[in-house]
Structure 1
Amino acid sequence: MQGRSAGRARGRGTGWLIVIAVCIGLWLVQNGSRTIITPPVPSAAQAFAAGQHTDAAADPLPPSDPVRFRIPRIRVDAPVMGLGLAPDSSLEVPPAGRSHVAGWYEEGTPPGSRGTAIVAGHVDNARGPAVFYGLGTLQKGHRIEVLRKDGRTAVFTVDAVEVYENEDFPDARVYGPADRAELRVITCGGGFDSRSGYRGNVVVYAHLIGVREQSRPRD
């Protein structure tokens, strides 16, 4: 995700009203290649299937801020920074110079707590691929781990990976409230236009299936 991100929020634990991300893709524009190689896109097999059930879930945890975000399958092991709202009420993104940081909307649900937690990050920047470049390669059943300030690691399983064009982005589905602990991981993706950037977003849907305790909580 390069440029201004998605997001208009109404506060912690409530629903979302979304403006889709502006994803410029500076690396793809500036790399000088005649053949633009875009980030991986999820296959149709990773989308939600009709009648798919993902009811088995761990009990939600009390709120605690995330400090590290891991997706072992694509070798993501990134620090987490809090994101707020820009003056135009869009969700901020990590600074372009911190392309390997995951951003959490800190006025929303903490990962592992009841509700829908939102994590966003860059797919690339002017220097090349960024933290969530490989997000589109994830598959159902892959694990996501979020180390929290309380010393617990919230373990999520991927339910689906979908890609949406900007004009078809399903706001309520992605950002709507949940009765269990759910997670959305978002970056830019889909088609690419050298004049306007990425035309959509890749979204990973996941829910909490377990918790690992550490011997010593973090300060």
Structure 2
Amino acid sequence: MRKATWTLLLAILLVTISACSSSAADPNVGGSGRPQATAATTAPTTGEDRDTSANAANATIPLPSPSPSPTPLTPPAVLKEANLGIVPAVLEIPAIGVKADVEQVGTAASGEMGVPASMDGVGWFEPGTKPGDRGNAVIAGHVDSKTGPAVFYKLDQLEKGDEVIVEDVHGKRLTFIVQQIESYPREAAPMEDIFGFSYQSQLNLITCTGEFNREAKTHDERLVVYTELKK
């Protein structure tokens, strides 16, 4: 009887030790020897964590700074200079003894440049360029009349380098230098060269020349003296 009691106590002790050893070695292994499923441990979410997550979700990738705009191109100095143009009141050409009043003329009914009313005066083409401004200013004068020579009678005697001077009512004077002298058939004059745009400040003097055409009541040619503003 006593031997049976000790045998039973020894069996209970071995089972208890075996169970403790298995549990201590792997808490996830049950008595069956199979791993036991365990719930994942998740830390509680705080308000600060939620704010941080929201900020991360709303964060945007910063765009690169825009490249600086290119510096605007500066126009050449030749285009930046202030206009020097004047309304001419007096024209002087020392080399041929001319000193004449200047009147303003426009376009005639025929489409041609108007002519001065006086044989001794000259006409500045007012719709065009002022003498001194960039472009071609034009002044015309008669070469002769029924009674004799007119203001530009000796215009064909000018030479390269001669001076042509214009003056306004305030006494401001501009000097131009003769560059070339050309004669053209009346209906073949290069209008663009005479009246067109130029980057230079030019003054062109025009008069009639050649034979007088009685049928057309004008001369067959046009004499043009090209001058440029003195630097």
The structure 2 residue matched to 1:188, chosen from 208, 211, 228, is 208
Q: Distance in 2 between matches of 1:76 and 1:209?
A: 19
Q: Is the 8 A contact 2:128 2:195 kept in 1?
A: no
2:93 counterpart residue number? 71
Out of 84, 89, 105, the residue aligned to residue 83 of structure 1 is 105
TM-score (normalizing by structure 1): 0.64
Q: Deviations over 1:66-121 (max 9, x none)?
A: 010000011000010000223343321112xx101010011111111211101001
How far apart in 1 are the matches of 2:222 and 2:143? 10
The answer to whether 1:145 aligns with 2:175 is no
Q: Post-superposition shift, 1:179?
A: 0.7
- 1:62 has 2:84 as partner: yes
The number of aligned residues is 150
The higher-RCO structure (CA 8 Å, 6+ apart) is 1
Q: Look up the match of 1:49.
A: none
For residue 184 of structure 2, the aligned residue among 144, 147, 164 is 164
What secondary structure, in the 3-state scheme, does the structure 1 residue paired with 2:89 have? Answer: strand
**Counterpart amino acid of residue 98 in structure 2:** V
Structure 1: gaps (5+ residues): 1-58, 211-219
Q: Which amino acid aligns with 2:111?
A: S
Q: Does 113-122 or 80-89 show the bigger shift? A: 80-89
Equivalent-residue separation in structure 2 for 1:187 and 1:169 (angstroms): 12
Separation in 2 of the partners of 1:60 and 1:169? 31
Greater C-alpha Rg: 2
* Runs of at least 4 residues off by over 6 Å: none
Alpha-carbon RMSD across the aligned residues, in angstroms, is 1.8
Aligned pair partner of 1:93 in 95, 99, 115: 115
Alignment correspondent of 2:222 = 201
Flag the structure with higher helix content.
Answer: 2
Cα pair 1:60 1:181 within 8 Å, conserved: no
In the alignment, the residues of structure 2 paired with residue 124 and residue 164 of structure 1 have an alpha-carbon distance, to the nearest angstrom, of 18
CA distance in 1, matches of 2:94, 2:144: 19
CA contact (8 A) 1:115 1:180 kept: yes
Q: Name the CA shift for 1:170/1:60 in 2 (closer, same or farther; >3 Å).
A: farther
Return closer, same or farther for 1:80/1:90 CA change in 2, 3 Å cut-off: same
Contact 1:64 1:150 in 2 (8 A): no
SS of structure 1 residue aligned to 2:95:
helix
Identity of aligned residues (%): 37
Structure with more of its chain in strand, by fraction: 1
